[in-house]
């Protein structure tokens, strides 16, 4: 019992650091769950929002630098195994440079839905301007984080009508179902010719 009390005290005292870490490693679900915590009064909106945004931006920067420092050598050595020939690489590079604003905005607004990490790494690999990359992701992050927090906040009203035994399961299920729906939409949008 003392261990459980100590664990709960640790979570309470570290909640904002844990929110930032959660946003870094698993953004979308953590953002919605944080909105639910905001709804119940467990966290302050502004501090939670700042921590989510910080974790999100740091994650975006990590993926950019992974692509920047490791992408070209990786595809130079192993690309042929995946069917990435120098011709295909050049074609992708031309299109990405031509449409990078649209691609990065699309990636940001569908974060966590299967395409974002690849696109963020490709931006680094193709040497998209870091300042432009950072600003697009920062602006998109403001919108994305607030949107997902709002979903968690407003779906928090649903929990009033759920029996106590099922509240945790519902709180976990709602973000997961939302993510599956968004992934399906992302796959459909990815087939469109940009």
- Please check the confidence at residue 73 and state whether its pLDDT lies above 90: no
| Per-residue model confidence (pLDDT) at position 155 | 76
Where do the structural domains in the chain lie, given as residue ranges? Answer: 28-190
Nearest to 39 by CA among 159, 172, 163: 159
Residue 67 DSSP label = I
Quickly state the pLDDT bin for 55 (edges 50, 70, 90): very high
Residue of 1 and 146 predicted with greater confidence: 146
pLDDT average, residue stretch 78-83: 63
Q: Give me the residue label for tokens 């990359």.
A: 133
Q: Which two tokens stand for residue 98?
A: 């031509």
Instruction: Give phi and psi for 36, each to the nearest 5.
Output: -65, -40
Distance of alpha carbon 173 from the chain centroid: 18
3-state class (DSSP) for residue 142: helix
* Sequence-ordered list of residues with C-beta below 8 angstroms from that of 20, at least 6 positions apart, any chain: 51, 52, 54, 55
- Please check the confidence at residue 185 and state whether its pLDDT lies above 70: no
| Per-residue model confidence (pLDDT) at position 190 | 59
Give the tens place of pLDDT for each residue, 101-159: 777 777 776 655 555 667 777 788 888 888 988 888 888 889 889 988 998 888 766 66
The pTM of the full predicted model, rounded to 2 decimals, is: 0.69
| Per-residue model confidence (pLDDT) at position 167 | 59
């Amino acid at each position: 019992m003392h261990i459980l009390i100590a664990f709960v005290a640790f979570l309470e005292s570290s909640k904002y650091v844990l929110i930032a870490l959660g946003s870094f490693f698993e953004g979308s679900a953590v953002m919605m769950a944080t909105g639910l915590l905001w709804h119940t009064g467990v966290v302050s909106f502004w501090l939670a929002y700042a921590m989510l945004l910080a974790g999100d931006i740091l994650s975006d920067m990590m993926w950019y630098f992974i692509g920047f420092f490791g992408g070209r050598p990786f595809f130079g050595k192993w690309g042929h195994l995946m069917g990435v020939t120098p011709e295909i690489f050049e074609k992708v590079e031309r299109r990405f440079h031509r449409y990078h604003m649209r691609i990065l905005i699309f990636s940001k607004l569908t974060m966590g839905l299967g395409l974002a990490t690849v696109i963020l790494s490709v931006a680094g690999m193709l040497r998209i301007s870091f300042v432009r990359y950072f600003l697009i992701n920062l602006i998109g992050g403001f919108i994305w984080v607030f949107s997902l927090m709002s979903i968690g906040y407003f779906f928090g009203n649903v929990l009033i009508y759920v029996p106590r035994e099922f509240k945790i399961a519902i709180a976990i299920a709602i973000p997961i179902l939302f993510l599956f729906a968004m992934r399906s939409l992302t796959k459909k949008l990815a087939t469109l010719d940009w």
